[in-house]
């Protein structure tokens, strides 16, 4: 697309249908494919990237279609002027429905979308305002000057330029700070929230973007069809759009178009063929589609597109000269009482289990504290409490002098606590450098509108220059463009450290960072942590490799069964009989 250019593609959309050998029937079919593509492209963002399944996209198409139908027939408003209204109605409806539905997750969300999809269908079908089952007819065609877009070959240009615009808008959104927030959802909302992503807003944005595209498709449909009725906006249609996205490859924009083409053509052929084969009429194609969906998910769970295009990671150009992001002033290193983190009486119960119980310790800037203890001692739970991922059952956490009580994870991230996870939580398919950029989320500001209009390029350059710097700092610069899952697990842990550093942390909480690393890699990690300490970062380190933690930590806090067993300098802790018994084994 880059070489050919968007203008070239648009020119093709205008000229192509006028080639003499193209039968009009196929041009009409191509127009339906284009409209379906727009809906399916929305599902790429919502379902493929955001991980939310919607059985309600046709309803939003209905909002767009009925809006322009009513405005253009009853109010006589020009279709071009109703376009913003159609988009707005679909978007606002999605925002409102999303406020309620998006609190559900997984299958519950899917069921929720079915519920309002059915409800909206009957609303369209039963209210006089929407013309009941007959719908609204006499919708004017699109027109420019005296030229009316009635010939399918003319409509083709509008539809497919509309597809191009949808592709462009969606690509711009996904390749932005707001888009990364949506993509971060598939790395788990815990990780996203821990780097300041407002996960509720990211989900809502994906939902609204998909709905606005569906509303756009509805607008196109209304003026191409020149009449609307409830049927094309019902649950069956929604299922077909989902099928298109899934069959094509739900996480990829070209997949949406391929899926739309395939399902539309097959649907059309089956509607002719099946009744003839079976000798009776009926919606048999629905049954076939059900089978196709299940078969696709079995044979190619990621859809057709990844089979066609072996994902070649796109190289991201980094602008090292981009003005550096502002850097947080770190508290002066101070080992005699200037704590950044002060934990007192902290506890966490899971049912009857006291995972953390009356735990207290401090962490100062320019200090490395090792938090050690046997498996199940409560170390990771402590991390979750410190970062707002879990809520304490009791006790107090003070960070830079203020209590963290009641703050959500993203607010704590904003204060400067960054972490890595014992069980790696990266976005698997996303390039390493973009995973790191999620860490810098709070250091940028651009929103979705800026992304759509590409007004965010300067800020993006700065965020990525910073991400590249942090990646180079941990020694993984050469892997920047590879999908995170391609790296060895030990390297993925290091990517997590780069992501944490991209937050510009005051305190860095690392959960078993050296697990799975080779000796030389551990040495490099130790050097990095010493450097961070010298820079004034406060480091809390959970680690099972005793040699590693003993040589690195200024102090150790030993946990067992949720409580603090001992605390002190590594040498003293090593001699502590209780510690020896609980954890280190007999002295050797």
Which span sits near ligand ADP by CB under 6 A: 43-51, 52-60, 376-384, 400-408? 376-384
Residues 385-400: b if buried by 16+ CB within 10 A, e if exposed:
bbbbbbebeebebbbb
Euclidean distance between CA atoms 340 and 408, whole angstroms? 19
- Per DSSP, helices labelled H in 230-304 are 235-248, 253-278, 284-299
Euclidean distance between CA atoms 509 and 539, whole angstroms? 6
CB of 385 to ligand ADP, least distance (A): 9
Cβ-in-10-Å burial (0-12, 13-18, 19+) of 201 comes to: middle
- Closer residue to ligand ADP, CB minimum distance, 456 or 496: 496
- Closer residue to ligand ADP, CB minimum distance, 347 or 435: 347
Which span sits near ligand ADP by CB under 6 A: 110-118, 162-170, 347-355, 451-459? 347-355
Residues 87-113: b if buried by 16+ CB within 10 A, e if exposed:
bebbbebbeebbeebbeeeeeebbebb
CB of 581 to ligand ADP, least distance (A): 17
Torsion of CA 109, 111, 113, 117, to 10 degrees: -170
Which of Mg ion, ligand ADP, none binds 147 (CB below 5-8 Å, type-dependent)? none
Please, which residues bridge with residue 557 across strands?
A: 371, 567
Q: The tokens of 74 are what?
A: 């009853």
- Closer residue to ligand ADP, CB minimum distance, 298 or 375: 375
CB of 350 to ligand ADP, least distance (A): 3
* Element of type H or E holding 556: strand 555-560
CB of 210 to ligand ADP, least distance (A): 32
Residue that has been written with the tokens 């698997």 in this structure: 428
- Closer residue to ligand ADP, CB minimum distance, 161 or 553: 553
Which of Mg ion, ligand ADP, none binds 393 (CB below 5-8 Å, type-dependent)? none
Nearest Cα neighbor of 179 from 536, 460, 523, 511 is 460
CB of 516 to ligand ADP, least distance (A): 16
Residue 376 interacts with ligand ADP (CB under 6 A)? Answer: yes
Euclidean distance between CA atoms 567 and 559, whole angstroms? 9
C-beta separation of 513 from 493 below 8 A = yes
User: Among residues 68, 296, 381, 470, which is the contact residue for ligand ADP, using CB under 6 A?
Assistant: 381
Residue 420 interacts with ligand ADP (CB under 6 A)? Answer: no
58-97 residues near ligand ADP, rule: CB under 6 A? none
Which of Mg ion, ligand ADP, none binds 179 (CB below 5-8 Å, type-dependent)? none
Which of Mg ion, ligand ADP, none binds 378 (CB below 5-8 Å, type-dependent)? ligand ADP
Transcribe 66-116 into DSSP letters: HHHHHHHHHS---HHHHHHHHHHHHHHHHHHHHHHHTTS-HHHHHHHHHHH
- Closer residue to ligand ADP, CB minimum distance, 28 or 563: 563
Which of ligand ADP, Mg ion, none binds 355 (CB below 5-8 Å, type-dependent)? ligand ADP
Residue 347 interacts with ligand ADP (CB under 6 A)? Answer: no
459-478 residues near ligand ADP, rule: CB under 6 A? none
Residues that bind Mg ion (CB under 5 A): 379-380, 422
Please, which residues bridge with residue 137 across strands?
A: 227
Which of Mg ion, ligand ADP, none binds 366 (CB below 5-8 Å, type-dependent)? none
DSSP state of 582: I
Which of ligand ADP, Mg ion, none binds 336 (CB below 5-8 Å, type-dependent)? none
- Closer residue to ligand ADP, CB minimum distance, 264 or 380: 380
User: Among residues 31, 380, 420, 435, which is the contact residue for ligand ADP, using CB under 6 A?
Assistant: 380
Cβ neighbours around 534 below 10 Å, total:
10
Residue 373 interacts with ligand ADP (CB under 6 A)? Answer: yes
> Which residues form the interface with ligand ADP (CB under 6 A)?
350, 353, 355, 373, 375-381
């Amino acid at each position: 697309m880059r070489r050919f250019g968007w203008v070239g593609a648009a020119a093709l959309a205008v000229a192509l249908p006028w080639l003499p050998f193209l039968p009009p029937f196929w041009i009409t079919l191509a127009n339906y494919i284009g409209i379906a593509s727009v809906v399916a492209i929305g599902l790429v963002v919502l379902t493929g990237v955001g991980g939310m399944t919607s059985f309600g996209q046709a309803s939003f198409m209905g909002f767009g279609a009925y809006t322009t139908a009513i405005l253009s027939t009853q109010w006589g408003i020009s279709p071009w002027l109703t376009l913003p209204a159609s988009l707005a109605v679909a978007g606002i409806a999605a925002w409102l429905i999303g406020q309620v539905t998006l609190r559900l997750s997984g299958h519950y969300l899917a069921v929720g979308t079915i519920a309002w999809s059915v409800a909206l269908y009957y609303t369209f079908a039963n209210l006089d305002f929407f013309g009941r089952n007959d719908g609204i007819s006499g919708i004017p065609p699109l027109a420019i000057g005296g030229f009316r877009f009635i010939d399918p070959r003319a409509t083709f240009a509008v539809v497919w330029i509309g597809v191009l615009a949808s592709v462009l808008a969606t690509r711009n959104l996904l390749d932005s700070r707001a888009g990364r927030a949506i993509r971060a959802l598939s790395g788990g909302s815990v990780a996203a929230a821990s780097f300041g992503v407002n996960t509720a807003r990211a989900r809502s944005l994906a939902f609204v973007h998909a709905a606005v595209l569906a509303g756009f498709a509805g607008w196109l449909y209304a003026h191409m069809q020149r009449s609307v009725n409830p049927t094309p906006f019902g649950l069956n249609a929604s299922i077909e759009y989902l099928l298109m996205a899934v069959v094509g490859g739900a996480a990829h924009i070209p997949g949406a178009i391929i899926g739309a083409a395939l399902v539309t053509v097959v649907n059309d052929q089956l509607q002719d063929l099946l009744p003839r084969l079976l000798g009776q009429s009926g919606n048999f194609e629905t049954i076939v589609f059900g089978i196709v969906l299940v078969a696709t998910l079995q044979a190619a769970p990621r859809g057709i597109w990844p089979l066609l295009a072996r994902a070649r990671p796109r190289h991201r150009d980094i602008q090292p000269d981009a003005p550096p992001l502002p850097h947080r002033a770190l508290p002066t290193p101070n080992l005699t009482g200037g704590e950044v983190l002060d934990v007192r009486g902290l506890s966490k119960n899971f049912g009857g289990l006291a995972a953390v119980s009356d735990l207290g310790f401090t962490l100062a800037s320019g200090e490395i504290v090792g938090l050690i203890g046997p498996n199940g001692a409560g170390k990771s739970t402590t991390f979750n409490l410190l970062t707002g991922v879990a809520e304490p059952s009791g006790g107090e956490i003070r960070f830079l002098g203020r209590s963290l009580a009641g703050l959500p994870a993203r607010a704590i991230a904003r204060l400067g606590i960054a972490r890595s996870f014992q069980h790696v939580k990266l976005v698997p398919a996303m390039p390493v450098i973009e995973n790191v950029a999620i860490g810098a989320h709070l250091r940028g500001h651009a929103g979705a509108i800026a992304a759509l209009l590409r007004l965010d390029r300067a800020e993006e350059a700065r965020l990525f220059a910073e991400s590249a710097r942090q990646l180079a700092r941990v020694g993984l610069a050469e892997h920047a463009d590879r999908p995170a899952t391609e790296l060895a697990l030990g390297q993925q842990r290091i990517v997590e450290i780069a992501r944490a550093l991209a937050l510009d942390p005051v305190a860095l909480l690392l959960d078993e960072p050296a697990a799975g690393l080779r000796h030389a890699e551990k040495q490099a990690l130790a050097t990095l942590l010493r450097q961070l300490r010298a820079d004034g970062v406060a480091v809390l380190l959970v680690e099972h490799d005793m040699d590693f933690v003993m040589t690195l930590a200024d102090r150790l806090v030993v946990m067992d069964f949720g409580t603090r067993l001992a605390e002190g300098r590594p040498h003293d802790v090593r001699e502590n009989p209780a510690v020896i018994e609980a954890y280190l084994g007999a002295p050797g």
